[in-house]
Amino acid sequence: MKIKPLDVASIRSCLPLLFIASPLLAPLSSVNAAVQLPEVLVTSSRIEQRQTETLLHSTVITAEMIKHSQQPDLPSLLRAEAGIQITQAGGIGSATGFFMRGAATRQTLVLVDGVPIMKQDATGTVSIEHLMLAEIDRIEIVRGNVSSIYGSGAVGGVIQIFTRRPSQKPTTSVSAEFGSRMSYSSAVSIRGASEDVRYALSASALGTDGISAINNRQLSTGNPDPDGYTNLSASGSIAKVWSVDQEIGIRFTQSQGRFSFDSRFDRPTDAHTGKTNISLVSLFSDNRISEKWRSSLNFSEAIDRNSNRYQTAFPVSDRYKTQTQLADWLNRIDLSDELRATAGLSYQRQSLVADDGYGGLSDFSRNVWSAQAGLEYADKDGHSVQLNGRHDDTQGNASASTGLFGYGYRVNEKIKLIASTSTGFSAPPLGYLYGQYGNPSLRPEYSRSTDLGAQISLSALELRLTWFDARIRDQIEYSNGFKNIRSARNDGIEMSGQFSLSDWSIRPSLTIQNPIDADTGQRLARRARELASVSAVRSFGPWTVNVSVSYSGTRFDGGNQLGAYTLAGLSGSYKVSNEWSLISRVDNVFDERYQSVYGYNQLPRTIFVGLRWQQ
């Protein structure tokens, strides 16, 4: 077996983007404003940590960053993050997948308020294309294998989404915008607190006539009509603080997306429509049992309903429903000033109900029992250690025990060296096991990962550099049915950071990787070897400006090469008064023609203008 190493050409291909950013990186001595860094995250260990303390490569997208980006949906925001690559079969609302460090969508865990939302059907995907940013308050991203903390599906990492949270001060905001291709969006949010009750409620609507998803130059038989999309979403929470550090509450999220789509096997007169409903509800209780012991209990349910209508010579409809019911009990204990522990139990009931439209009805379910524990140590001499272990017992499939060991050493106030190694697994979805093309003999995918890195902290700079090596065996692929047919490997370097320069807040990222089939040495489908991005935000007077540039290298899809591309974005706002702001955004400024899936178009230049009111 021959593994192709990272080569100089991969690094050279990213130099144009780095050249663009170099004037920003060079004169750090001229920095005159401290960078505003996120203070705390919880996803990397399930214990509250400052971002500079975590041993895993983690980033936080704050509400302020989401606001400045002015992006409407989750995929548009995530494509600028280190190590994440988005694929879409058309414009907004079209079928979407993503890779994190080369791991497939089903190998990366997506949580909404702690609830997993992966589909159990034969796609094994996550409906991130229907998650609107108007409902999202914060996103935490952990890269690399964290199965020992979160269980199955966290081989590539975790993306945790936090919906709008209550605020101490009553806040109301309303926004509306209009743009190219009869696009529109509107949102309203109300948040606040009244004595011991905290509340948040938000709702949004979005629509567009869209573009033709199919590329008729490559797939000439497809229907060239525009494929539109509409979305209605809402989220909310209410909690009662009945004593100091004692809280009980409920959260919900609802999203309905309606879309038109094209198939590569279509005739010019074929037209297809679909609808996806995502519904999440969670009852939670956070309690301080004693001065050193905190406990949280969550009962949650996530439902993803998808139905499609295929208007062909012989019309047919299908329906799929994935349901996950979760009970999770987590405890955090301060053993000393230097040592903290976590311990928890969880239970999941996963189910799939499907109607393939041809008389094939199915109803499958399984139970997953899990136990996990962790230790986190940090002393005054600069040493830090993270240990995690977990056991998952998946009904009808193999059980798995996984672990993680991380070590960090702070050389001085500016440099911290970090290393970690971990094992993980990913259980096949129910549709892979028992669906129309299922294989009940499928084994889970097992992984082993190693990270080496450094964190650089200056007065106005935070930079994380990581070398990673991830290996997966018994990887599941479709070849006349689902089979464990190969192993995969990805190694590379990753960089993310944030700094301030001359009143600009700048976030660069860079990934150079080698995602391959470890048996053949061939690159994995649709994965780029080079990914890079940089965004810069500045406020001056009533103006706020956000500039972004992202780059993706070449990819291969079914024997076809997809060209490299660079996308530029520009957004801004003008504060007319204390409450009113004018907003505008241009996506794909230079009208780049590119593809993330062979045979499918991506959005050309798109322009939006609108108003925002906040009190």
Residue 335, number of CB atoms within 10 A of its CB: 12
Domains of the chain in sequence order: 43-166+178-497+515-525 (2.40.170.20)
Q: Which amino acid is at 480?
A: N
User: For the chain, what percent of residues have pLDDT higher than 70?
Assistant: 94
What is the rounded distance in angstroms from the CA atom of residue 47 to the CA atom of residue 453? Answer: 21
Looking at residues 366-394, what average pLDDT do you find?
97
pTM: 0.93
**DSSP conformational letter for 443:** P
| Digit-coded pLDDT (tens) for 100-109 | 999 999 999 9
Residue 425 pLDDT: 95
| Digit-coded pLDDT (tens) for 82-125 | 999 999 999 999 999 999 999 999 999 999 999 999 999 999 99
Kindly tell me the number of DSSP H helices and DSSP E strands found in the chain.
6, 34
Residue 412, number of CB atoms within 10 A of its CB: 8
Residue 5 pLDDT: 47
574 HSE (CA, 13 A, CB side): 6
- Produce one character per residue of 587-603: b if its CB has 16 or more CB atoms within 10 Å, e if not: bbbeeeebbbbbbbbbb
Could you tell me the pLDDT band of residue 278, with boundaries at 50, 70 and 90?
Answer: very high
Residue 465 pLDDT: 98
User: Which of 19, 85, 60, 52 shows the shortest CA–CA distance to 378?
Assistant: 52
Element (H or E) spanning 127, and its range? none
User: Which of 546, 552, 559 shows the shortest CA–CA distance to 594?
Assistant: 552
pLDDT at 286 over 70: yes
Residue 18 pLDDT: 39
pLDDT at 22 over 60: no
pLDDT at 79 over 80: yes
C-beta of residue 257 within 8 angstroms of C-beta of residue 229: yes
Residue 397 pLDDT: 79
For 266, the 3-state DSSP assignment is: coil
What is the rounded distance in angstroms from the CA atom of residue 52 to the CA atom of residue 48? Answer: 12
Least confident of 169-173, 181-185, 344-348, 433-437: 433-437
Could you tell me the pLDDT band of residue 259, with boundaries at 50, 70 and 90?
Answer: very high
CA distances from 562 to 516, 555, 599, 601 (A): 17, 5, 10, 12
Question: Going by DSSP bridges, is the β-strand pair 136-143/58-61 parallel, antiparallel, or unpaired?
Answer: antiparallel
Could you tell me the pLDDT band of residue 6, with boundaries at 50, 70 and 90?
Answer: very low
Could you tell me the pLDDT band of residue 39, with boundaries at 50, 70 and 90?
Answer: low
CA distances from 265 to 218, 320, 355, 470 (A): 12, 22, 21, 36
For 153, the 3-state DSSP assignment is: coil
User: Which of 344, 347, 304 shows the shortest CA–CA distance to 325?
Assistant: 347
User: Which of 163, 134, 93, 34 shows the shortest CA–CA distance to 461?
Assistant: 34
Which residues pair with residue 567 across a beta bridge?
550
